[in-house]
Amino acid sequence: MKRSVTIWALALSLLTIQVAWAAPELTQGLGVITSPRDGAEVRGLVPIEGSATHPQFQKYEVHYGPQPNPGDQWTPVGQSPFAVPVVQGRLALWDTTVIPDGQYSLRLRVVRLDGNYEEYFVRGIQVVNTRPIATPTREATPTSSGPTAIPTATPTIVIAVPTVSSPTPRPTDTPLPTSEPTATREPMNLPFQNVSDAACWGVAGTAAVFIGIGLLFAARNGVVAFFRWLARRGRESLGLYDE
């Protein structure tokens, strides 16, 4: 149990240190003007950017005063004081058209709930509303001081070429050749048109060959038997008998 409490206390301490290091404005407050900076030249409506915050924040004030020593001549900027803290944003809008040109200082004051405050200054700001805005001018292109060569015109020689008109071909009475009809080749009537017909004819031919061979052997045996029978009858008619 004691070990668990020790681990939780250590983790809480590390978290507190990390938060304090990552966001110092949450623990010690922050008052800063990031724009305009020291020595800047401004005119017209000037947005004042920065931060004004504190853990015990009550309000913040933005003032301007003439240099070198404003003393008690600080004048509020816009609707100062402001009751909402700002972090990296617009603090106020300074209208410099209502003041004469010259050098001024800006003061940011962050007031806490106990009445104490912190201040931040930007000095040497130059208001230049009456100064004309410099317009960039184009530099003149240097020209050569030496004598300029005058170009001389080169005469152009034109050679006239006579135009020969081509004779227009006259129409003739020769009839145009007409295209002769192309003879079409009729397909040959083959005894068989496909593979199955060829196979049938092959089988029939083979069978006819075997039948012819069989008939030939049968006729040969018949002829031999017939001649033997005639020889036997002849011998019998002559009275000759086989032993």
H/E run at residue 238: none
Range scoring the smallest mean pLDDT among 5-9, 24-28, 129-133 = 24-28
Among 77-91, 167-181, 188-202, name the most confident range: 77-91
Contact 65, 105 (CB under 8 A): yes
pLDDT digits (tens, 9 = 90+) for 49-98: 999 999 999 999 999 999 888 888 899 999 999 999 999 999 999 999 99
pLDDT digits (tens, 9 = 90+) for 99-153: 999 999 999 999 999 999 999 999 999 999 998 887 766 765 555 555 555 555 5
Contact 101, 157 (CB under 8 A): no
Say which residue the tokens 């104490």 belong to.
Answer: 116
Residue 238's pLDDT band, with cuts at 50, 70 and 90, is confident
The mean of the pLDDT values for the chain is 75
Residue 26's pLDDT band, with cuts at 50, 70 and 90, is very low
Question: In whole angstroms, what is the distance from residue 40 CA to residue 78 CA?
Answer: 20
β partners of residue 94: 46
CATH number of 24-127: 2.60.40
pLDDT value for 160: 52
Domain edges within the chain: 24-127, 195-243
The percentage of the chain sitting over the pLDDT mark of 70, rounded to a whole number, equals 58
Among 8-12, 19-23, 63-67, 187-191, name the most confident range: 63-67
pLDDT value for 24: 46
pLDDT value for 228: 84
Question: In whole angstroms, what is the distance from residue 131 CA to residue 154 CA?
Answer: 58
Candidates 67, 62, 45; CA nearest to 125 is 67
Angle, vertex CA 74, rays to CA 122 and CA 103, nearest 5: 50
CA 209 to chain CA centroid, Å, is: 80
pLDDT digits (tens, 9 = 90+) for 225-235: 888 888 887 77
pLDDT digits (tens, 9 = 90+) for 29-48: 689 999 999 999 999 999 99
